[in-house]
Structure 1
Amino acid sequence: MNKTSKQHWPTKDVMTQIYEKNLWGGTTFDFYSGAGSHDPKIIDPYLKVLTDFLESQNPPLVVCDLGCGDFNIGKHLTKYSKKYIAIDIVETLINRNKKLYKEDNLEFYCLDITKDELPKGDCIILRQVLQHLSNTEIQKVVKKIKHYKYVILTEHIPLGNFVPNKNIITGQGIRLKQNSGVNVLEAPLNFKIKEEKQLGEYFLENSKGRIVTMLYRVF
């Protein structure tokens, strides 16, 4: 990695370095997507509401998991989907996932969701992914996910009122220190939907915000 400032690093390089240097913790893991993907207090209620939603769909949905990470979450959801397409920008991580997780309805792809064409499907899962991206990159993603019927979006946001969508440099951190968080319905993102429903909310200890999961029906 060269010494160019982080502003100029490609997103792929930034995310690859996060895993290589264990910047989200989990030094005993080969790849670790953070406590938000491993802490049972956070993931168990999340998996319950996701499972309930996916099981309620007839016929089953084709799910695209954007930013699938170490797949500690997605591995529980494949059996409730017609097809489960798991995507991440880190090539070594995707190669690892392909070796570990093999199911007839499961596919892994290494893609940059801000630049590359996304697979066709019915439902997008974006779990604590957008919070690490700049507004410019989020806008690119928003333009693509409007073509899916459902979007299940999870974000780590402040407690109480906050100013949405303060810009950041893509990387390890999120907007919480600026008393901000991602709200795709607000400017400058302006995601257009038909309906919304809160599926879950988890309050983190020591007033470190909350993790909120929203279901959006786009059309």
Structure 2
Amino acid sequence: MKLWGGNQFDFYSGYGSHDPKIIDSYLKVLVAFLKSHDKSLVVCDLGCGDFNIGKHLTKYAKKYVAIDIVKNLIERNKKIYKANNLEFDCLDIIEDELPSGHCIILRQVLQHLSNKDIEKISKKLALYKYIILTEHLPLGDFSPNKDIISGQGIRLKQNSGVDVLVPPFNLKIKDQKQLNEYVMENNRGRIVTTLFKTF
């Protein structure tokens, strides 16, 4: 429905996946993280979208599994992006079993989901050693995890955002490190990327 713009594209994951001001610093820290593991990680990209982000990361992983729920999008991505270590799968990350791997990339996906849906996903995340989570959060203090209906919108208008470490999710982690933060213009919050280590 082009609710995120991109009328000139067949599929478009929004300006958050295309604006160089947002994605350049994000890609820099992710490439550095993957390089530090010397192509030893199997990476699962949950909600890979139009793959404008993932296409820059594939070559730094042992295997890169890109997942999205939209079948036509996955078929399109398969035709455009090819590499020996790249695999595209059409899965519902809420209901389906996820592929095995070392590292999960979840970039601005949870923010669109209800708490019930996030709970189902968060239980699966503990199976991965590394979780690289990016969320659009309000500036300053906010009330985490106000519930929404899964869809196009996010919690920002409610001065809320997703925090997987607090109720109702309570993700158990060993360590965390903020990798990146981009402050949006016109008081529209900040996009924060955090690396969690679970074991």
Q: TM-score, normalised by structure 1?
A: 0.90
Where has structure 1 moved over 6 Å in runs of 4 or more?
Answer: none
* Counterpart residue number, 1:7: none
Cα deviation code 1:107-136 (max 9, x no counterpart): 000000000010000000000000000000
Aligned to 2:176: 196
CA 1:189–1:216: 2 relative to 1, 3 Å = same
Could you tell me how far 1:60 is from its partner in structure 2?
A: 1.7
Residue 134 of structure 1 aligns with which residue?
A: 114
* Equivalent position of 1:16 in the other structure: none
Q: Secondary structure of the residue that 1:198 maps to in structure 2?
A: strand
Give the structure 2 partner of residue 9 of structure 1.
none
Structure 2 residue matching 1:98: 3-state secondary structure: helix
| Residue 101 of structure 1 pairs with residue 81 of structure 2 | yes
Structure 1 residue 95: deviation in Å? 0.6
Cα-Cα RMSD: 0.6
Per the alignment, residue 76 of structure 1 pairs with: 56
Say yes or no: does 1:156 pair with 2:136.
yes
Task: Give the deviation of 1:59 after TM superposition.
Answer: 5.4
Matched, 1:86 2:71: no
CA contact (8 A) 2:69 2:93 kept: yes
Partner-residue secondary structure (3-state), 1:94: helix
CA contact (8 A) 2:135 2:162 kept: yes
SS in 1 for 2:4: coil
Q: Distance in 1 between matches of 2:166 and 2:139?
A: 17
The amino acid across from 1:92 in the alignment is N
Partner of 1:30: 10
Does the CA-based 8 Å contact 2:111-2:135 persist in structure 1? yes
- Unpaired stretches in structure 1, ≥5 consecutive residues: 1-20
- Percent identical across equivalent pairs? 72
Amino acid at match of 1:28: Q
Match of 1:124 in 2: 104
| Equivalent position amino acid for 2:163 in 1 | N
Aligned partners of 1:90, 1:174: CA distance in 2, in Å?
Answer: 19
3-state SS of paired residue (2:88): strand
DSSP-derived class of the 2:133 partner:
strand
With normalisation by structure 2, the TM-score equals: 0.99
**Structure in which a larger fraction of residues adopt helix:** 1
Higher mean alpha-carbon deviation, 56-65 vs 26-35, is at 56-65
